[in-house]
Structure 1
C-alpha cells in the first residue's frame, strides 16, 4: 500500500492549493445545504397550501357525491359521480366515519386511517398534517380536517373527518433534481478552486522561488554579490530587501576581514623579518665561533626586544578589534566615573614618558555606562598618540568638561588630506611610518566610542599641533543604582 505523505511534508504550493480547495468545498457545501433546506421548506409549504386549497374546494361537493353514491372502499373510475367535483390539484380524498372506517371520495389513492386522523374525528384537534404511504406504497402528504354530513334520515348531522392527500413526489422530485444540480456545481467549483489555487500559489510563490534559488546559489558558490530585485512593498519585498541587506553586510564583513588579514600580515611581516634577521645574525655568530662585539650584541638584543614588544602590541590591538560589541555579547557595562578612568590613564602615560614631556590635565566629574577596561584603553591610545607626536620638552594638554574629552599635542600636526583616514585600520601618515606603532590605536578609539553612542574627531589645533575630541553621553552625577532582585 503506497504511503500517503504528511500534509506538512508537501510543497508549499500544494498545501496552498489543498487549503484553497478545502475552503471552497466547505463554503460551497454550506451554501448548497442552505439552498437545499430553504427550497425544501418552500416546497413543503406550497404543498401544504395546495392541500388546504384542495380541501376547501372539494370537501363540500365530495360529501354531496358521497351522500348520493354511498361509501366505497376503493377508487371506482367507472362512475362519473366524482367527476363533478372540482379537483384541479388531482388530490385524493376520503371520508372517515364515526366507527373509524374510511370511504373513498375522489382521486386514485386510498389512505390508511391513522391515530392522528381519529384524533381529528374525535375533535381532539383542529386538523392534522402528516406523511403516510398509500395502499399502493406511494408517499402522500395528508391533511385531515373535521366535517359533518347529513344522516340518511336527513334529520341530524353526523361528525366525520375528511382526509385530503397529494403525492409527496411533488416535493421530493424537484429536491432530488436540485441535489444533483448542486452536487455537480459543487464538484465543478471545487475542481475549479483547486486549479485556481494551484495557479495562484505558483504565481504568488514565484518571488519565494526566486529567493530560494538565490539563497541556494549563495550557499553553493558563496557569491555574496547576488541581489534580488525588490518589487512592491509586501512581505515578499521586505524579505527580499532584508536578504539583500544581509548579503551586503556579509560581503562588507568579508571584505573587511580580508582587508584586516592582509593589513595584519603586512604589518606583521616587518617586525618578523627584523626578528628573523637579528636571530640569524646571533645564530651565525654562535655557529662560526665569531662572537659579536659586546656593543653590537647589546644593540642587537635591544632590537630583538623592541621587535617583540611591537609584535605583542600589535597582537593586543588585533585582539581588541576582534572582541564582540558590548551590545552583542561582550562584557556587561556598568556605571563608570569617566574622570577617574582618564586619571588612571594619565598615570600610566606619565610612567611611559620621559621627564622632559609634560602632561597637564583639568578633569571635571562625568559618569556614564561603559566597560572600564575598554574605555581606559581608548583613552590610553589617545594619550600615546599625542605623546608619540609631541616634540621633546613639549606639553600634552588633557581637558574633560561636560562629557567632552580633548587631548592636544604640540607636534607637527596632521596634513588636511590625511584627516579622513586617521581612524582607518593600519593607516599611518608618511611622517609616522618611521615611528613605532601598528596603526590601530585610533581605530580602537573610534570603535569604543561608537559602541558607547559617542563621537570622536581629530582636527588641527590653533597654534599648531593636533587635538582629538571625544564626546560621550552621560551625566555630571552618578545615576542611582538599580535595586538588587
Structure 2
C-alpha cells in the first residue's frame, strides 16, 4: 500500500504520544501489503523508539507468534478489511502482572480510521487520473472530425454566392464549430495548473468556465448564436419562433467577461422551452428593460409546481416522462443570483409585454446594470 508522507508523519506522532503516556518498551505499526501474486504481508511503517534496531519481520521470528504477557497485537480494521496491526510491548514490573491499557485499543482504532481514509484517498486519486487520461484521449480524438467539418463548411461557403439563401446556415455551422472548439479547449485545460477562471463562481457551470482574461462581450454578442440556433431548431420542428426584432441599447454595451454566464442561462431556458412545450407550440425570446424573457405558449406550469421546479433535482409533472436531470433551472437561478440578477417564472406572459401570449410560461432573467450604467452619463461627454 502506498502511503503519503503526511500519514507516516502522523502515525509516528501517534506512537510517540502513546509511548510518553504509557509504560511501553516498544511500539511498532505494520500495514497490510497486498500483492495479487502473493499472500498478504505485514510491512513495518512506524516504530518507537526511533533509535532502536528494527524489529524482526513477523514472518521471520517464530517467537512473535507465541503468547507473551508483555506483548499484545491490536488489529487495524476498516469496514471488512484488515489494514494492519499495532504491536505493543510493555515493560513487566516485578511482582505485577502486565495489564491491558485501553489507550492502545483507541490508538489502533484511530490509526485504522486514518489508514482507511488514506486508502480511499489513494483510490480516488487513481480514479481521477484515469478519468483525466481518458478525457484527454477523447478531446484529442474529437479534434480531427471537428476540423474536417469546419473545412467542409468553409469549402461550401466558397461555392455559394454572397446572396445565397443558405449562406447564413453555413456561417452558423462555422460559428457552432468555433463554440465546440472553445468547449474542447476548456476540457483540455481541466486539471491543469494554468487554468485561470473567474473566482466569483460558487455554482457549477452549464457550459465551459470563463477565463478571467476573456474579452468583454455585449449581450447581443452572447445571444446572437443562441437565437440563430433556436430559429433553425424551430424551422426543423415546424413551430413558430419569435426572436427580437432589434437590439436595444443596453444589449450593445460591453459587459465583464464573467457575465458570459448570461449565455449559459439563456441556452438552458431555450433548451427547456423546446424540450417541454408541446409540438407546434409557439415560443420566442423577448428583450425587455435589462431583462431577457424566454417564453412559450404551451400549458402553464401548475401553481403548486412553480417553486419546486427551481429546486435541485426536482421536475414538473409534465416533464417527468422525458429525459432530464432536474438541475438546469436550479443552476440557472443560482448563476443569475451570483451575478446580482434574478430568474422568475410568469404564467401570464402578456403581463410582461402586451405582445406576448396571455397564457403560457415566461422565464424572466433580470440582469444588473454594469458599473458604467450605474454611474450614469458622463457630464463632460
Q: Given the two structures, how large is their TM-score scaled by the length of structure 1?
A: 0.30
Greater C-alpha radius of gyration? 1
